[in-house]
């Protein structure tokens, strides 16, 4: 048994690291437990390496869309160089840099698999089988993230499909890649691998990015098709077989067969809670952790577990499966644990310091497809489902002076969803080349609940694509 820490964090992904940092900055002691690489999924198999896989293709497209630059680009994408850049962004799957950061921040690292064994007690089993018992005076934070969900499709597991990890870390580009899924991972990986030369078939049972505004999926699917991707909306895999020659055959529900060299399964995530000792504290292993506004884990009775010693942040609480939003939760969790430990007031009002209010209706996300998709807040459908009285305002991004300069043949679209009762923006979606960097203005408008009347005074610079803000307001009317 080691000396007790004030707080123990299980999982050193982006969220766990940030929780621990806030705890230390608040003057408490903290230990962090990690069974794989410090930095988590995001650093090695998700956000950073995927964007490295996609960025070179985007840069090449951008150059090809501008006369003068276009003529200077004579070759194709150098796939080996792209993969090498990806390796560098994944730090060659070594976590020395992040471990050094923990050391410099004064956060002791316990390498091994962490499991709860009683209230405020975490057992860490190292690779060599030795165990260390960590106790927490104030709180334990679960930040164990999520893993790829592999559905119960006949033969699928035996066929050893790729999950996002294998796709993101691929050393070779398969000649034919089949993808089950039509969500964010499927769309980004279909973009990357088709640009690398794979012949991609996307089995998008429920559509492409179907939870976004409808024009998003239409434009991304159209662009994927233009890259040669076979986008099969409504197609459902019935069974899968890995053949003796190493290829994979997928039999669809309607009996048709799709053959490929590799199969990527990208249908969502499952929480890393199966082997976490949840049963020792009255919770069910394998389930997502439900939390209250200050991210305390709730028991079956809907109340914080025990005296409220257990917290969960990031993917594992299923509020929002995005790094930036998990890190936002981490700041709230770290600060509220410090406040409670010191007997200070807890600021848990809406938009207070100790709650993650933006998780509800103000989440920004960028999907790095071609075209990019940038959105924040509610779609029109989600706003209506939430009972808001809305007005939808659409504008063609190509009709701004900035976009015509940005690229020849620029195509894009913007949608603003206005909450008519409050005259504020409830949701904003952009689709088009390089729209990612335009998103934060919308996030500020949504989080700040800036009245439309005031937005008229936020004048976009000429000639930028951001002039779409003025056009949307003009379309809405004053
Ligand atoms: C392909 C892909 C691309 C993505 N791209 C983006 C993107 O561009 N932008 C974005 O915002 N989000 C993106 N995401 C989502 C993002 O990766 C996650 O939201 C983020 O990693 C969640 O952080 P986390 O700290 O909660 O969990 P994780 O990053 O999963 O980290 C959890 C850590 O806990 C460790 N762990 C788990 N169980 C235990 C245990 N029992 N004991 C010890 N350690 C344990 C794990 O080893 C891991 O290191 C992407 C996801 C995928 C799959
Ligand atoms: N750029 C980014 O921000 C980014 C990039 C990649 C991943 N992520 C995050 O990672 C998470 C996981 O991404 P994902 O794409 O795996 O999940 P997702 O939830 O985005 O998409 C899953 C898709 O699979 C479909 N699906 C579900 N079950 C199916 C089945 N049995 N057969 C066929 N299709 C099925 C769903 O309809 C959906 O379209 C997401 O929540 C996302 O937020 C973010």
pLDDT of residue 192: 98
Q: What number is the ipTM of this complex?
A: 0.98
Ligand 1 nearest-atom number relative to CA 168: 1
436 lines ligand 2 (CB under 6 A): no
Residue 134 Cβ contacting ligand 1 at under 6 Å: no
- The whole-angstrom separation of Cα 106 and Cα 427 is 40
Decide if 140 contacts 10 (C-beta within 8 A): yes
Q: Report whether 182 belongs to an annotated binding site.
A: yes
Q: Domain 157-267, what fold?
A: FAD/NAD(P)-binding domain (3.50.50)
* Residue 162 near residue 264 (C-beta atoms within 8 A): yes
Average pLDDT score over residue span 6-23: 98
- Find out whether the beta carbon of 164 lies less than 6 Å from any atom of ligand 1: yes
Residues 442, 424: Cα–Cα separation, whole Å: 11
């981490």: which residue's tokens?
330
pLDDT, tens digit, 9 for 90 and up, residues 242-299: 999 999 999 999 999 999 999 999 999 999 999 999 999 999 999 999 999 999 999 9
pLDDT at 31 > cutoff 90: yes
Q: Does ligand 2 come within 6 angstroms of the Cβ of 32?
A: no
User: What's this model's pTM, rounded to 2 decimal places?
Assistant: 0.98
Residue 389 CA to ligand 1 centre (angstroms): 36
Q: Tell me whether strands 424-432 and 372-377 are parallel, antiparallel or unpaired.
A: antiparallel
Contact criterion met (CB below 8 Å) for 29 and 6? yes
Ligand nearest to the CA of 146: 1
- The pLDDT-based confidence of 238 (bands split at 50, 70, 90) is very high
Question: Dihedral (C-alpha) 27, 33, 38, 41: value to the nearest 10 degrees?
Answer: -110
Question: Is 170 part of any known ligand binding site?
Answer: no
pLDDT at 1 over 80: no
- Which pLDDT belongs to residue 103? 98
Mean pLDDT of 16-22: 98
Tell me which residue has tokens 């592999």: 150
Decide whether any atom of ligand 2 lies within 6 Å of the 205 Cβ. Answer: yes
Which ligand lies nearest to the CA atom of residue 179 in the structure?
2
325 alpha carbon – ligand 1 mean position (Å): 12
Residue range 443-469, pLDDT digits in tens: 999 999 999 999 999 999 999 999 999
Q: Report pLDDT digits (tens) over 194-235.
A: 999 999 999 999 999 999 999 999 999 999 999 999 999 999
Contact 200, 194 (CB under 8 A): yes
Read off the tokens for 339.
Answer: 């406040």
Give the distance (Å) from ligand 1 centre to CA of residue 314. 8
pLDDT at 128 over 70: yes
Q: What is the pLDDT of residues 323-358, one digit of tens each?
A: 999 999 999 999 999 999 999 999 999 999 999 999
Atom of ligand 2 nearest to the CA of 367: 1
Residues 36-55 have pLDDT tens digits of 999 999 999 999 999 999 99
Q: How confident is the model at residue 2 (pLDDT cuts 50, 70, 90)?
A: confident
pLDDT at position 3: 82
Nearest 5°: phi and psi at 451? Answer: -60, 145
Cβ–Cβ under 8 Å, residues 363 and 322: yes
Ligand 1 mean position, distance from CA 146 (Å): 6
pLDDT digits (tens, 9 = 90+) for 155-201: 999 999 999 999 999 999 999 999 999 999 999 999 999 999 999 99
Q: Does the C-beta of 185 come closer than 6 Å to ligand 2?
A: yes
Domain boundaries in the chain? 2-44+90-147+270-358, 47-89, 157-267, 371-476
H or E element, residue 47: helix 47-64
Cα–Cα distance, 311 to 142 (Å, whole number):
6
- Cβ-in-10-Å burial (0-12, 13-18, 19+) of 407 comes to buried
Tell me: is residue 223 an annotated ligand-binding position: no
What is the DSSP-derived secondary structure letter of residue 162? B
Largest CA distance in the chain: 69
- Structure tokens, 62: 């951008």
Strand partners, 424: 419
Q: Do domains 2-44+90-147+270-358 and 157-267 have the same CATH topology?
A: yes
Per-residue pLDDT tens for 178-188? 999 999 999 99
Residue 262 in marked binding region: no
Segment 302-327 shows an average pLDDT of 98
User: Is any atom of ligand 1 closer than 6 Å to the C-beta of 16?
Assistant: yes
> What is the rounded CA–CA span in Å between residue 450 and residue 444?
8
Tell me how far the alpha carbon of residue 51 is from its chain's centroid: 12
Q: Is the C-alpha dihedral spanning 266, 271, 274, 276 positive or negative?
A: positive
Using DSSP bridges, classify how beta strands 257-260 and 248-252 pair: parallel, antiparallel or unpaired: antiparallel
**Residue whose CA lies nearest to ligand 2 atom number 34:** 181
Top CATH class of 2-44+90-147+270-358 equals: alpha beta
Calculate how far, in angstroms, residue 127's C-alpha sits from the geometric centre of ligand 1.
Answer: 21
Upstream peptide bond of 371 is cis (omega within 30 degrees of 0): yes
Quote the mean pLDDT of the chain: 98
- For residue 322, report the distance from its CA to the centre of ligand 1, in Å: 8
Binding site membership of 35 for ligand 1 (Cβ less than 6 Å): yes
Contact 208, 220 (CB under 8 A): yes
CA of 11 to the centre of ligand 2 (A): 22
Query: What backbone torsions phi and psi does residue 205 show, to the nearest 5 degrees?
Result: -50, -45
Task: For domain 371-476, give the CATH number.
Answer: 3.30.390.30
* Atom 17, ligand 1: residue with shortest CA distance: 42
Per-residue exposure over 389-403, b if at least 16 CB sit within 10 Å of its own CB, e if not: ebeebebebbebebb
pLDDT tens readout for residues 373-421: 999 999 999 999 999 999 999 999 999 999 999 999 999 999 999 999 9
């Amino acid at each position: 048994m080691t000396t007790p820490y004030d707080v123990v964090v299980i999982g050193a992904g982006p969220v766990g690291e940030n929780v621990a940092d806030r705890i230390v900055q608040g003057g408490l002691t903290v230990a962090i437990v990690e069974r794989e690489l410090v930095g988590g999924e995001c650093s090695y198999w998700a956000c950073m390496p995927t964007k490295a896989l996609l960025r070179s293709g985007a840069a090449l497209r951008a150059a090809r869309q501008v006369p003068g630059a276009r003529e200077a680009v004579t070759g194709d994408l150098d796939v080996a160089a792209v993969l090498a850049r990806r390796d560098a962004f994944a730090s060659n799957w070594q976590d020395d840099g992040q471990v050094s950061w923990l050391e410099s921040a004064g956060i002791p690292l316990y390498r091994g698999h962490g499991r709860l064994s009683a209230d405020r007690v975490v057992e860490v089993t190292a690779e060599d089988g030795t165990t260390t018992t960590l106790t927490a005076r104030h709180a334990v934070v679960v930040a164990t993230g999520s893993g790829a969900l592999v559905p119960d499709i006949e033969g699928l597991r035996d066929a050893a499909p790729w999950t996002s990890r294998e796709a993101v870390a691929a050393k070779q580009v398969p000649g034919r890649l089949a993808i089950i899924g039509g969500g964010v991972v499927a769309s980004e990986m279909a973009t990357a691998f088709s640009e690398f030369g794979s012949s991609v078939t996307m089995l998008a049972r429920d559509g492409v990015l179907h939870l976004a505004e409808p024009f998003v999926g239409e434009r991304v699917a159209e662009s994927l098709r233009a890259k040669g991707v076979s986008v099969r909306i409504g197609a459902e895999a019935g069974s899968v077989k890995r053949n003796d020659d190493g290829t994979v055959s997928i039999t669809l529900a309607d009996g048709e067969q799709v053959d490929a060299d590799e199969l990527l399964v990208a249908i969502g995530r499952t929480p890393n809670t199966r082997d976490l000792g949840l049963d020792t504290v009255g919770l069910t292993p394998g389930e997502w952790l439900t939390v209250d506004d200050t991210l305390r884990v709730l028991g079956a009775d809907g109340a914080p577990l025990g005296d409220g010693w257990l917290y969960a942040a990031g993917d594992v609480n299923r509020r929002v499966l995005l790094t930036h939003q998990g890190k936002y939760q981490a700041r709230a969790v770290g600060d509220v644990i410090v406040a409670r430990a010191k007997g200070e007031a807890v600021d848990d009002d809406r938009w207070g310091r100790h709650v993650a209010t933006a998780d509800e209706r103000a989440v920004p996300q960028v999907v790095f497809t071609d075209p990019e998709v940038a959105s924040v807040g509610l779609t029109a459908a989600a706003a209506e489902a939430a009972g808001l009285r809305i007005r939808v305002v659409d504008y063609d991004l190509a009709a701004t002076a900035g976009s015509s300069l940005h690229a020849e043949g620029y195509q894009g679209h913007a949608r603003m969803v206005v909450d008519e009762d409050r005259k504020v923006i409830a949701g904003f979606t952009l689709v088009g080349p390089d729209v990612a960097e335009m998103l934060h203005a919308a996030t500020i408008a949504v989080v700040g609940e800036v009245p439309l009347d005031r937005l008229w005074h936020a004048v976009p610079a000429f000639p930028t694509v951001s002039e779409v803000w003025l056009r949307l307001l003009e379309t809405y009317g004053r």
